[in-house]
Amino acid sequence: MIQLSWFWLLHQPDSALSRWFHSRTNLAGCRRRQPAIVALARKLIIALWKFVQHGVVIDGAVMKGA
C-alpha cells in the first residue's frame, strides 16, 4: 500500500488525497514524509473500499473509461 500511495501521488496529482499529502509535507519538510505516506496509504485504502462498496469516486481522481 505504501508503493501504491507513491504511485497515487505520481498519477493523481490533482486529487484531494494528493493535495492533503502535499499540504502536510510542504511545511514540515522531509522528516514528515514517511509518517504522512503511511497516513495517505490508510486514507487510500478507505477511499478505495468506499469506491468498491458504494461507488463513491475519490474527489479529484481521474478515471479511465473501460
Q: 55 Cβ partners below 8 Å, 6+ apart? A: none
| pTM summary value | 0.82
Q: Can you give the pLDDT at residue 66?
A: 63
Q: 44 Cβ partners below 8 Å, 6+ apart? A: 1, 4, 5, 8, 17
pLDDT tens per residue across span 8-57 = 999 999 999 999 999 888 876 667 788 899 999 999 999 999 999 998 88
The backbone torsions φ and ψ at residue 18, rounded to the nearest 5 degrees and listed phi first, read -65, -40
Cα 53-57-63 angle, rounded to 5 deg: 115
Q: Can you give the pLDDT at residue 9?
A: 94
Q: Can you give the pLDDT at residue 26?
A: 83
